[in-house]
Chain A
Amino acid sequence: MIALNDLYQGFRDPKVIRSLAQQIAHYASQVEGMINIMEVCGGHTHTIMKYGLNQLLPSNIEFIHGPGCPVCIMPKERIDHAATLASQPDTILVTLGDMIRVPGSKGSLAQFRAKGCDIRPIYDPLDTLTIAADNPNKTIIFFAIGFETSTPMTAVLIEQANQRGITNLLFHINHVLVPPAIDAVMNDPQVKVNAFIGPAHVSVISGAKIYRQAVETYNTPVVVSGFEPVDVMQSILMLVKQKAEQRAELENQYSRSVSENGNKTAQALIDKYLTIRPEFRWRGLGPIANSALMLKPEYAHLDAERVYANVLPQIEIDDHKACQCGDILRGLCKPKDCKVFGRGCSPDTPLGSCMVSSEGACNAYYRYNGVNL
């Protein structure tokens, strides 16, 4: 029998990490040139920074922190949408956690809340049902964010609202997809990324298979990895071994939770209510085709983007022109190479996507980098 605590401590065991670090160094010495690993997911960035894993690796392994934080990649105009919706009379805007900190062109949702807008950060999307039921005379707008992992929860919310006859709940859908973002990174002719740590909780829902195409198209190894430090170290070892043996395969380190095909029930719920959006602009990466979801036409009456089409601003707003987040996200430069890093741009006053949330590359560098002992 395995204790729940083993699922934490067993995968954080310092001895195991040390052993894996030695094996990584062994195989990495057989690889010529740099191994530039993109960990697409902000959760992996967090693990790497929190546990200081980058300090345990040989010098020919570098991390390139990818565009996998749904808060960071939200373009300003979408946050402006949220602010505009929240400013409508008799409206409550509901969204997840730290979305309310991110500034749009006219301020963050937290600032709009301070001005009197009813904006509620929640943890559980289903809490929106209670808010809707408790406020029958108001329109509740769920500002839905997140990758594949968080999308089925929005689908359940739509279904539950429908089943319970709740009619005062609308949706502003900003769910985005990982594979098109990988394509956007890899299609840059200067790209340096030559290995991927695949976001695993995305794959709990969508299956490991979603990365197969990237492995084949770009001849690049992808290892789907768990989020504990041992998981990440083992995944790095798997990538380095592939590099040493000149293989490029899809491997699944996180087999205790990820299967080839994922959670079919969740996928069916998503397919019932949502469909591919022709294009979505990612903060830092620009427009990417088929990279996000929207409500199906038959649910247009629930779509805040359509219901409020006449009041929502349509102007696209780019980040400050000195901001190099796009290059950083592609691994073309490091945060410290950016002219505004730590000067005009800091976690208190972020100019670009990578500084916005604690999972962003620049934010992480700003706070953690520089410990030399």
Chain B
Amino acid sequence: MNSVTNDKVIQLSHGGGGKEMNRLIKDIFFNAFDNAILQNEEDAAVLHFDGNIAFTTDSFTVAPIFFAGGDIGKLAVAGTVNDLAMMGAEPQYLSCSVIIEEGFEIEKLKTIVASMARELKKSNTRIVCGDTKVVPKGCADGLFINTSGVGRILKPKISVKNLEAGDCIIVSRDIGRHGAAILMAREGLALESELSSDCANLWPIVEQLIAANVDIHAMRDATRGGLSAVLNEWAKASNVCIEVKEEAVPVSDEVKGLCELYGFEPFDLANEGTFIVAVPDDNAEKALSVMQQFCHCQSASIIGQVTADKVTADSNNAKENSQQGKVILHTPWGSARYLDVPQGELLPRIC
């Protein structure tokens, strides 16, 4: 039989729209993502929804493609699923577009697709449409994946604008692992460690938080820009001050070690399975106990609080509070500083 598995590498013909492309799609993608909507092979998937849905998209270009704790496939599913979950939406349907560089090993592609399929199962999510393109060698770096996703909203009104004074800020686990794992995997730094990426599907946890009726004000996975970026976005969007206790933020030894070596801050490093949630003070313990039931979230911790109240336009005693929109980090040394948004490319400091 002339199966795609006889080929060793992706060729331009695999994207040509003919027999080879059909084989590639059927043997690899349909096989792994098998479901009735996808098998219909219509020009577009037909979906049915009641009520509000959340819709998101993300492209994945991570280098290297395989890293400790995951690969680009796992990331492409978890990333989009997590974006939906963070809006209180059940991740139901995903699209999957793949851009493959000519010469890419088919075995690697299979591994990536298998890891996508594994990750989909965790949240009972289906890939219902997709596209495959092959570009000449040198026009892409191995493989890029875009996924878009939709899901119905189970918990409405989760928003970056909803933080209120008195809210507790909870982080789901130790921070900075994905960014650190990717840096370690890059050849230039020639590092070794036990560290793995935190890359994970967060819907199972969020589903439990919603089931436990936790009053979630805001929720976000701390991807690029890390914890700093999320907290600063929240502080600005809700016009509040967020105060964080540095010693309460969980960080693994390896991430600390990498940060020492290269002068990075764990707060700035990317995560792919770590989220931050703002809940009213009296909901914090409940949220923590739900999160800590999951093995990768045993280090979930309350790291800070929202302190300054919102200033509304019609409020008469709206006094100027210069700390609004700011994130303040309280150090264990009795001092405080602003936690700033990371800037530019993450480069080793020599100073």
Direct A/B contact, Cβ within 8 angstroms = yes
A-side residues, CB < 8 A to B, are: 8, 12, 14, 17-18, 42-43, 46, 49-53, 55-56, 69-71, 96-98, 100-101, 110, 121-124, 127, 145-146, 150, 229, 347-348, 357-359, 367-368, 370-373
A101-B342 Cα distance, complex, nearest whole Å: 14
Q: Is the CB of A98 within 8 A of B333?
A: no
Choose one: A52, A150, A370; the contact of B331 (CB below 8 Å). A52
Q: Chain B residues near A50 (CB, 8 Å)?
A: 331, 337
Smallest CB separation, A341 vs chain B (Å): 16
Q: Is the CB of A46 within 8 A of B351?
A: yes
Q: Is the CB of B337 within 8 A of A371?
A: yes
Q: Is the CB of A347 within 8 A of B348?
A: no
Q: Provided the pairs A123-B188, A370-B322, A371-B328 are in contact, do residues A101 and B347 lie with their beta carbons within 8 angstroms?
A: yes
Q: Chain A residues near B344 (CB, 8 Å)?
A: 101, 110
Smallest CB separation, B296 vs chain A (Å): 25
Q: Chain B residues near A14 (CB, 8 Å)?
A: 332-334
A372-B326 Cα distance, complex, nearest whole Å: 12
Q: Is the CB of B328 within 8 A of A373?
A: yes
Q: Chain A residues near B319 (CB, 8 Å)?
A: none
Smallest CB separation, B76 vs chain A (Å): 26
Q: Is the CB of B347 within 8 A of A150?
A: no
Q: Provided the pairs A46-B351, A51-B333, A127-B188 are in contact, do residues A8 and B328 lie with their beta carbons within 8 angstroms?
A: no
**Chain A CB within 10 Å, residue with most, of B188, B328, B333, B348:** B333
A29-B343 Cα distance, complex, nearest whole Å: 40
Q: Is the CB of B340 within 8 A of A96?
A: no
Please encode chain B, from 298 to 338, with 1 for each CB lying within 8 Å of some chain A CB and 0 for all others.
00000000000000000000000010000010011111111
A149-B318 Cα distance, complex, nearest whole Å: 52
Q: Is the CB of B351 within 8 A of A43?
A: yes
**Chain A CB within 10 Å, residue with most, of B344, B345, B349:** B349
A204-B76 Cα distance, complex, nearest whole Å: 47
Q: Is the CB of B347 within 8 A of A121?
A: yes
Smallest CB separation, A70 vs chain B (Å): 7
Q: Is the CB of A69 within 8 A of B351?
A: yes
The answer to whether B47 has its CB under 8 Å from any CB of chain A is no
A359-B347 Cα distance, complex, nearest whole Å: 14
A101-B347, A145-B350 given; name 17 further pairs at CB < 8 Å: A12-B333, A14-B333, A17-B333, A46-B351, A52-B336, A53-B333, A53-B335, A56-B333, A56-B335, A98-B348, A98-B350, A100-B347, A348-B343, A358-B349, A367-B338, A368-B337, A373-B328
The answer to whether B260 has its CB under 8 Å from any CB of chain A is yes
Q: Chain B residues near A367 (CB, 8 Å)?
A: 338, 340
Smallest CB separation, B343 vs chain A (Å): 6
A46-B349 Cα distance, complex, nearest whole Å: 11
A69-B349 Cα distance, complex, nearest whole Å: 11
Q: Provided the pairs A122-B188, A123-B262, A370-B322 are in contact, do residues A51 and B347 lie with their beta carbons within 8 angstroms?
A: no
Smallest CB separation, A307 vs chain B (Å): 26
Q: Is the CB of A96 within 8 A of B350?
A: yes
Smallest CB separation, A232 vs chain B (Å): 11
Q: Is the CB of A52 within 8 A of B333?
A: yes
Looking at chain B's contact residues, the main secondary structure is loop
Q: Is the CB of A97 within 8 A of B348?
A: yes
A12-B334 Cα distance, complex, nearest whole Å: 12
Q: Chain A residues near B189 (CB, 8 Å)?
A: 123
Q: Chain A residues near B340 (CB, 8 Å)?
A: 367-368
Q: Chain B residues near A46 (CB, 8 Å)?
A: 351
Q: Is the CB of A8 within 8 A of B260?
A: yes
Smallest CB-CB A-B distances: 5 pairs: A52-B335, A42-B351, A97-B348, A55-B335, A359-B351
Q: Is the CB of A373 within 8 A of B336?
A: yes
Q: Chain B residues near A55 (CB, 8 Å)?
A: 334-336
Please encode chain B, from 265 to 292, with 1 for each CB lying within 8 Å of some chain A CB and 0 for all others.
0000000000000000000000000000
Q: Chain A residues near B322 (CB, 8 Å)?
A: 370, 372
A121-B95 Cα distance, complex, nearest whole Å: 36
A145-B344 Cα distance, complex, nearest whole Å: 21
A150-B351 Cα distance, complex, nearest whole Å: 10
Q: Chain B residues near A96 (CB, 8 Å)?
A: 348, 350
Smallest CB separation, A359 vs chain B (Å): 4
Q: Chain A residues near B335 (CB, 8 Å)?
A: 51-53, 55-56
Please encode chain B, from 58 to 92, with 1 for each CB lying within 8 Å of some chain A CB and 0 for all others.
00000000000000000000000000000000000
Can you list 10 A-B pairs, Cβ within 8 angstroms, ordered by A?
Answer: A17-B333, A46-B351, A51-B333, A97-B347, A123-B188, A150-B350, A367-B338, A367-B340, A368-B337, A370-B322
Q: Chain A residues near B331 (CB, 8 Å)?
A: 50-52
Q: Provided the pairs A52-B337, A367-B338 are in contact, do residues A357 and B351 lie with their beta carbons within 8 angstroms?
A: yes
A17-B337 Cα distance, complex, nearest whole Å: 17
Q: Is the CB of A97 within 8 A of B260?
A: no
Smallest CB separation, B149 vs chain A (Å): 31
Q: Chain B residues near A42 (CB, 8 Å)?
A: 351
Q: Provided the pairs A52-B337, A123-B188 are in contact, do residues A97 and B343 lie with their beta carbons within 8 angstroms?
A: no
Q: Chain B residues near A98 (CB, 8 Å)?
A: 347-351
Smallest CB separation, A259 vs chain B (Å): 23
A367-B329 Cα distance, complex, nearest whole Å: 12
Q: Chain B residues near A122 (CB, 8 Å)?
A: 188
Smallest CB separation, B178 vs chain A (Å): 20
Question: For chain B residues 11-42, which have a beta carbon within 8 Å of chain A?
Answer: none
Q: Chain A residues near B336 (CB, 8 Å)?
A: 52, 55, 371, 373
Question: For chain B residues 148-202, which have a beta carbon within 8 Å of chain A?
Answer: 188-190
Smallest CB separation, B123 vs chain A (Å): 38
A371-B244 Cα distance, complex, nearest whole Å: 13
Q: Is the CB of B349 within 8 A of A97?
A: yes
Choose one: B188, B337, B345, B351; the contact of A70 (CB below 8 Å). B351
Q: Is the CB of B347 within 8 A of A229?
A: no
A50-B267 Cα distance, complex, nearest whole Å: 13
Smallest CB separation, A197 vs chain B (Å): 15
